[in-house]
């Protein structure tokens, strides 16, 4: 599929402002795809097309739904804002010939989310919230969270959406609630029998075993429901960063503790190991300074 051609077609279908937003979503989605190892081409196509039906009138969308017998639930039918997801997915398929089910699903669910989303679906959903043109309160934090932990960022984005929709006295889609509950329940399955501060201190020792430096333990319990403690450390090279992460993994495993996610391993520039109540970041110094998590969580208590 020729992305440049898609871009030109999409540009014709919407206002300048919406087109700029779509390009912003491409930019953020590609950054996330690179970070998490998602298919770049699929990401680019889903991102540029995600709002392809957003400029359609309610009448036009209803016509498309009825003529093509699209499967649209009662809530979506009621709320015009939600219709461009399923209609956009149909347009992507019928007008642009997209036949990849995952791309079509990412477009379909980019406004509501749904239970058990794939990585591509999560990336498109989040990129829509954090693209460079977005300027709302808290966007910078969500941007960084999206790069650090995809699922936590999803929960945060669902929370924001739910609060916003309620503030508008509008209807809340059950897919959004199910998506949020599902992610939280998945994480909750990891019940930890040890104290998060103790585990963080052990992790600090394991990091230092492999010559990790500048290890900081930051207590963020009072700042976010997402985790209790961050452990942030630096490695001297990508090889060292990987060795530190592997050692932490191995030692934790010996204690019967398995991470719920483990990201960024190939590159070795920033590895995140998520033990749920303790989240470990091992950085190359350059990356550490750029993302500056310590500043982001500067209200946390250093332990």
User: Closest CB to Fe ion among 51 and 216?
Assistant: 51
For residue 293 the two structure tokens come to 């998590």
Q: How far is the CB of 33 from Fe ion (least distance, A)?
A: 17
Give the span between the Cα atoms of 123 and 125, in whole angstroms.
5
Spatial separation of the C-alpha atoms in residues 197 and 278, rounded to whole Å = 8
What is the closest distance, in whole angstroms, from the C-beta atom of residue 49 to Fe ion in the complex? 11
Residue 21: how many other CB atoms lie within 10 Å: 20
We find the least distance from the C-beta atom of residue 140 to Fe ion, in angstroms, to be 19
Alpha-helix runs per DSSP H in the chain: 3-12, 16-36, 40-49, 58-67, 74-78, 80-94, 101-108, 119-130, 139-148, 150-167, 174-188, 196-209, 238-254, 285-291, 293-296
Q: Which stretch binds Fe ion (CB under 5 A): 123-131, 173-181, 225-233, 263-271?
A: 123-131
Q: For residue 82, with 0-12 CB atoms within 10 Å meaning exposed, 13-18 middle and 19 or more buried, which class applies? A: buried
Closest to Fe ion by CB, 51 or 228: 51
Supply the minimum distance, in Å, between the C-beta of residue 62 and Fe ion: 18
Of 154 and 226, CB closest to Fe ion: 154
Residue number with CB closer to Fe ion (128 or 287): 128
- Each residue 22-61 as x (binds Fe ion by CB under 5 A) or -, in order, gives -----------------------------x----------
Contact string (CB under 5 A) for Fe ion, positions 65-104, x = contact: ----------------------------------------
Choices 121-129, 156-164, 183-191, 233-241 (CB under 5 A): range interacting with Fe ion: 121-129
Rounded least distance, CB 87 to Fe ion, Å: 11
The Cα 192–Cα 257 span in angstroms is 8
Q: What angle do CA 87, 93, 94 make, to 5 degrees?
A: 85
User: Which position among 128, 249, 274, 287 is part of the footprint of Fe ion (CB under 5 A)?
Assistant: 128
Size of the site for Fe ion (CB under 5 A): 2
For the chain, what is the radius of gyration of the CA atoms? 21
Q: Which two tokens stand for residue 190?
A: 């990891």
Distances (CA, A) of 141 to 148, 254, 278, 297, 301: 10, 34, 19, 10, 18
Dihedral pair phi/psi, residue 132, rounded to 5°: -55, -25
Q: Give 88 or 212: the residue with its C-beta nearer to Fe ion.
A: 88
Tokens at 253, concatenated: 């495993």
Nearer to Fe ion, 51 or 287 (CB): 51
Closest separation in Å from C-beta 129 to Fe ion: 9
Query: Closest CB to Fe ion among 143 and 269?
Result: 143
CB nearer Fe ion, residue 175 or residue 249: 175
For position 274 contacting Fe ion by CB under 5 A, the verdict is no
Residues that bind Fe ion (CB under 5 A): 51, 128
């Amino acid at each position: 599929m020729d992305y440049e051609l898609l871009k030109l077609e999409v540009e014709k279908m919407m206002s300048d402002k919406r087109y700029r937003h779509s390009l912003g979503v491409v930019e953020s989605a590609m950054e996330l795809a690179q970070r998490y190892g998602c298919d770049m081409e699929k990401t680019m196509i889903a991102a540029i097309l995600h709002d392809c039906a957003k400029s359609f009138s309610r009448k036009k969308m209803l016509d498309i739904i009825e003529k093509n017998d699209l499967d649209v639930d009662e809530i979506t039918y009621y709320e015009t804002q939600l219709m461009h997801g399923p209609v956009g997915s149909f347009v992507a398929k019928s007008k642009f010939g997209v036949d990849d089910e995952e791309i079509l699903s990412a477009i379909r669910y980019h406004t509501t989310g749904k239970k058990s989303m794939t990585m591509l679906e999560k990336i498109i959903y989040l990129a829509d919230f954090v693209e460079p043109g977005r300027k709302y309160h808290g966007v910078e934090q969500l941007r960084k969270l999206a790069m650090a932990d995809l699922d936590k960022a999803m929960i945060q984005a669902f929370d924001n959406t739910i609060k916003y929709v309620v503030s508008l006295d509008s209807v809340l889609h059950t897919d959004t609630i199910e998506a949020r509950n599902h992610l939280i329940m998945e994480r909750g399955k990891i019940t930890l029998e040890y104290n998060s501060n103790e585990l963080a201190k052990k992790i600090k020792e394991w990091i230092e075993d492999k010559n990790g430096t500048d290890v900081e333990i930051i207590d963020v319990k009072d700042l976010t429901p997402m985790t209790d403690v961050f452990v942030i450390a630096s490695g001297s090279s990508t090889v060292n960063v990987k060795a530190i992460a592997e050692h932490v993994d191995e030692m934790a495993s010996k204690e019967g503790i398995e991470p719920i996610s483990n990201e960024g391993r190939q590159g070795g520039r920033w590895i995140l190991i998520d033990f749920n109540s303790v989240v470990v970041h091992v950085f190359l110094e350059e990356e550490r300074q750029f993302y500056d998590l310590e500043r982001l969580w500067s209200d946390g208590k250093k332990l």
